[in-house]
Structure 1
Amino acid sequence: MIPVYHDFTEQRILIFGGGPIGARKARRFSSEATVIVISPAFAEDNFATAELVRAAPSPPDVREWIARADPALVVTATDDNGLNDSIASITHENKVLLNRADRSEANSDDDRGSHTAYDVMIPATVEDSPVQVAISTGGRSPALAKYLREQIETDITSAGAMATLTADLRAELRERDCSPSVRRDAIRAVVRDPDVWKGLRTEEINPRQEATRVVRKIMGDER
């Protein structure tokens, strides 16, 4: 299994199930996509900006909803295994991406042989925009994925600011006609410099000035 990123901007995501899992999935996707949650009842939970449709869909209803909504992704999160299986089958027939959020990690492993090219797993993520790290245990240990996410949250503090800083530096170095190898070495040195990180995280020193110092040191005669 190879992790990939998918842009759901301005696309629809259809979630069947209004329990805590459905709410969590709605929160996850609502910042980017149009989310519709279909369920006969909804948990007292945060569904973000998702549209909540109170209905108890049968398999024919599911087929109609998929045809009407034209979703980029369907999520199964009901407590009815038979209905979830029907939703999955219909989603596969329509060649739409499917996330079986209703399945336990153990069951996901057992059913791995029945997976299709349209089945996707949604990993745990840590973000310091625009930096994002995805974590997956291959469906074996959600507790470990959560633990690793908590550890990485500390490690990537200010990574977003570093990404922005180095993007600006790369653009400036291109304008100065520096060779690709010098640009690469300079940016790598900035990313590895503890004083630049200290400036980004504490504001005790100016990170831009520190980055400029590092770049000048690497460039030597090419300044």
Structure 2
Amino acid sequence: MDFFPVFLKLTQKKVLVVGGGEVACRKVDLLLKASANITLISPELHPHLATLLNEGQFTYIQAEYDKSQITGFDQVWATTDVKALNHQVYHDANALQIWTNVVDDPDFCDFITPSMIDRSPIQVAISSGGASPVLVRYIREQLETQLPQNLSLLASFSGQQRGRIKQYYKTVDERRKFWEHFFRSPAVEEATTTEQLEQIFTELLEKHEDTGANLYLIETGNDPELLTIKALRLMQQSEFVLYPQDKNDIFVDLCRRDADRESYQYTELVERVEALLAEGLRVCVLAPKDQHRPALKKLCADINGIFVPSHG
């Protein structure tokens, strides 16, 4: 991992942008959305930046860059089209231990900006660490087609209901299961107003019953891309993941990130699953193709669990 993924709060943080051209335009626009306190240094300004300046959006120093100007900032962006100058900005800022980004030059960056899908307050960030911008753009296009357009509405609505739902469900686990049910409702995905979401929410509060413990037996096969949508959905709903010894691989990584995980031996698997089910947990067992045992499939059938065969 060349860069650690993180979201920074830049509200009123002092940010210096060196350069006044087209690249600076893109960065200043993003920084303004994050409510940063921007100072820009450049002999000249792009017309777009001149418009923003006239609106009082940032502080402008009309001058050539000098390292004496860099003191007192929380973050620095070097956006000029002169490579040597950008590197000088990086070294000057580094000497003062200020986080610096030299645009399109990851070797001279303390942080980089990912490609973003913005459904505020929901944000999705994608990065290749500068290795393949075109691939990142392709991934973003794919995600844009998959994510509902009403994510902003859903996030705002659900945030407003946090106190209300605690009156109905006392534990974090119960509330999480309710929200999973709510967000997977087709009517929620199609909702365009708060009133529609309120109606769905109220109906689910009145009707929803905890699904409780269950067993999801997922046959993994050899190719993770051949997992069915149903398998991925169940893997994401699971609260406890069991996987074969020495098989902590991509299939485990595709499961819910906050689920507990544990390796197993087949001789002890059924007993372990029964114990977890007795705790009221939704258990996902990852079983390589043709290696799951009849006793486990029988247990799955006996409790009306779900078995998803591999397609690869």
Task: Tell me the TM-score normalized by structure 2.
Answer: 0.59
1:128–1:156 CA contact under 8 A, matched in 2:
no
Q: How far apart, CA to CA, are the structure 1 residues paired with 2:174 and 2:21?
A: 54
| Residue 200 of structure 2 corresponds to residue 210 of structure 1 | yes
AA aligned to 1:133 is V
Q: Which 4+ stretches in 1 moved above 4 angstroms?
A: none
**1:127 paired residue number:** 118
Q: How far apart, CA to CA, are the structure 1 residues paired with 2:184 and 2:49?
A: 40
By how many angstroms is 1:75 displaced? 0.6
Greater helix share, 1 or 2? 1
> 1:147-206 CA deviation, whole Å, 9 max, x = no partner?
433443452411121112222333212134533322111111111111112123xx5x82
Which of these residues, 54, 67, 70, is aligned with residue 66 of structure 1?
Answer: 70
Identical columns (%): 27
2:21–2:45 CA contact under 8 A, matched in 1:
yes
Structure with larger Rg: 2
How do residues 25-174 of structure 1 correspond to structure 2 at under 5 angstroms? 25-31=27-33, 32-46=35-49, 48=52, 49-57=57-65, 61-62=66-67, 64-67=68-71, 70-103=72-105, 108=106, 111=107, 119-154=110-145, 155-174=147-166
What's the RMSD between the two structures over aligned residues? 2.2
By how many angstroms is 1:217 displaced? 2.8
Q: How far apart, CA to CA, are the structure 2 residues paired with 1:13 and 1:76?
A: 11
2:117–2:124 CA contact under 8 A, matched in 1:
yes
Mean Cα deviation higher: 211-220 or 19-28 = 211-220
Q: How far apart, CA to CA, are the structure 1 residues paired with 2:153 and 2:163?
A: 16
2:20–2:49 CA contact under 8 A, matched in 1:
no
1:8–1:72 CA contact under 8 A, matched in 2:
no
Q: How far apart, CA to CA, are the structure 2 residues paired with 1:95 and 1:44?
A: 32
By how many angstroms is 1:102 displaced? 4.9
Which of these residues, 14, 17, 20, is aligned with residue 18 of structure 1?
Answer: 20
By how many angstroms is 1:95 displaced? 0.5
Aligned length: 200
**1:188 paired residue number:** 180
AA aligned to 2:27 is K
Q: How far apart, CA to CA, are the structure 1 residues paired with 2:73 and 2:151?
A: 33
